[in-house]
Amino acid sequence: MDVQRFIQERRPGWQRLERLIEQAEASPDWELGKDRLQELLRLYRQACADLNQARSYTANPALLGRLNDLVGRGYRFVYRRRHGERMQKALARFFRFEVPRTFRLEKSAILAASAAFLLGTLFGFGAVILNPASGERLIPPEFFTEGPRERVERIEQGRERIDTAEEAMHFGVSLYTHNIQVSFLAFSLGATTILGGLWILFYNGVILGAIFAMYLLDGVTTFFLAWVGPHGALELPAIVFGGAAGLRAGHALLLPGDQSRASSLRQAFPSVWRMMAAAAAVLVMAGLIEGSFSQFSAKTVPYSLKIGVAAVLFGSLLGYLFFRRLPEESA
């Protein structure tokens, strides 16, 4: 084969293909029109044939490299999955059907993650009730800046928290980012080691249980519930969901059974990512609540109302995920 002539003959087709792909990547299919799309397909197949032919007759790395890139680019366009489904529609379907269905399907992972978290809570709670001094050892220093009672007094006697930027930032934002980290870390460690994910869940349960016990011992339980409740009702489930997604992924990766690891992971993937996406969405909602509603003190919003809101939030989250009757998907 005369490489020189081959290149001269085919080059116009390749260049045309490249231009078409560029246009196609920049604009939706309908704008390109049927004729040009069909021309693109024809030129793509020709380029495939050219690459095969070039491979068998020459080792010229530059020619092969260019053709390889061109065919790769065409392949990426021709066989891509998404041909412009409206994002809104996809999102609606995702939250209406896919997320609740996944959570029902993956009950065992959710239960395992919740169990690890609750066991941790019980452990932390019990340890502090039995020996109040152990609280200081169980709770990391960043949460343990002041005793419960001093804090209640400071917050209730101080100005409205929502007006003081510094404090709102200190507690709102730092806990918020902390919980995101914990949720994602529980996922990552669960996905790679299972036990690591369980440990993160357990440990964060311990912290929660220990803090709760300390407020209980100081007799300020209502304050605790009102202060943590509204956002905690969403944030703690988000941590558990993240952990559960990690457990599911870890199970697929480490205990694939008689499947290959790759195929087992591929099978678990839809569940895993839906649980993660739900966790992220819940975290965003929790963050918004934490920054605003949770920061009101008893002077503005009575504790009972705050605790009530927390209960409603938690109840509707569980109801949405596990108990709502799912409509038919045809909608």
Partner 1 sequence: MRDLRHRLILTPEQVEVRLAPAGAGSRFLALIVDGLIALSLSVFLGQLLMPLLPAGLGYALWATLNFVISWGYHVYFETYQDGRSPGKRLLGLRVVDGRGLPVAFQQAFVRNVMRILDGVPAFYALGALVCQLDGDGRRLGDLAADTLVVRERRSAEATRELARSLEQSSLRTPRLLRLLGRRLGLEEREFLLDLSLRAAEMEPKARFDLMEEVAAHYRQRLEIEGKGLSGENLVRGLTALLFWDRRGEHRGALAARMV
Q: Does residue 259 touch partner 1 according to CB under 8 A?
A: no
Q: Does residue 249 touch partner 1 according to CB under 8 A?
A: yes
Smaller CB separation from partner 1, 103 or 212: 103
Q: Are 243 and 187 in contact (CB under 8 A)?
A: yes
Q: Does residue 172 touch partner 1 according to CB under 8 A?
A: yes
Span near partner 1 by CB under 8 A; candidates 32-40, 173-181, 210-218, 299-307: 173-181
Smaller CB separation from partner 1, 131 or 263: 263
Backbone region of residue 327 per phi and psi (left: phi > 0; alpha: psi in -120 to 50; beta: other values): beta
Q: How far is the CB of 66 from partner 1 (least distance, A)?
A: 4
Amino acid at 204: N
Smaller CB separation from partner 1, 216 or 280: 280
Q: Token pair for residue 180? A: 């995101």
- To which residue do tokens 């209960």 refer? 311
Among 162, 254, 307, 311, binds partner 1 (CB under 8 A): 162
Among 33, 65, 219, 315, binds partner 1 (CB under 8 A): 65
Smaller CB separation from partner 1, 162 or 307: 162
Q: Token pair for residue 134? A: 């152990």
Where does residue 4 rank: exposed (0-12), middle (13-18), buried (19+ CB within 10 A)? Answer: exposed
- Please give the biggest Cα pair distance in the chain: 91
The one-character DSSP state at 327 is: P
Count the alpha carbons within 13 Å of 3 in the hemisphere toward its beta carbon: 12
State the Cα–Cα distance between residues 36 and 219, nearest whole angstrom: 75
Smaller CB separation from partner 1, 75 or 322: 75
> Dihedral, CA atoms, 148, 150, 152, 158, nearest 10 degrees?
-150
Under rule CB under 8 A, which residues in 66-105 are in contact with partner 1? 66-72, 75-76, 79-82
Q: How far is the CB of 155 from partner 1 (least distance, A)?
A: 13
Pattern of binders to partner 1 over 278-297, x per CB under 8 A?
--x--xx--xx-xxx--x--
State the Cα–Cα distance between residues 123 and 117, nearest whole angstrom: 10
The one-character DSSP state at 323 is: I
The angle at the Cα of 207, spanning 316 to 233, to the nearest 5 degrees, equals 10
Q: How far is the CB of 192 from partner 1 (least distance, A)?
A: 7
Q: Does residue 235 touch partner 1 according to CB under 8 A?
A: no
Among 33, 158, 270, 302, binds partner 1 (CB under 8 A): 270
Q: Are 179 and 235 in contact (CB under 8 A)?
A: yes
Among 93, 96, 147, 192, binds partner 1 (CB under 8 A): 192
- Residues in the interface with partner 1 (CB under 8 A) total 73
Span near partner 1 by CB under 8 A; candidates 143-151, 171-179, 205-213, 303-311: 171-179
Q: Does residue 232 touch partner 1 according to CB under 8 A?
A: no
Span near partner 1 by CB under 8 A; candidates 41-49, 131-139, 148-156, 305-313: 41-49
3-state secondary structure of 36: helix
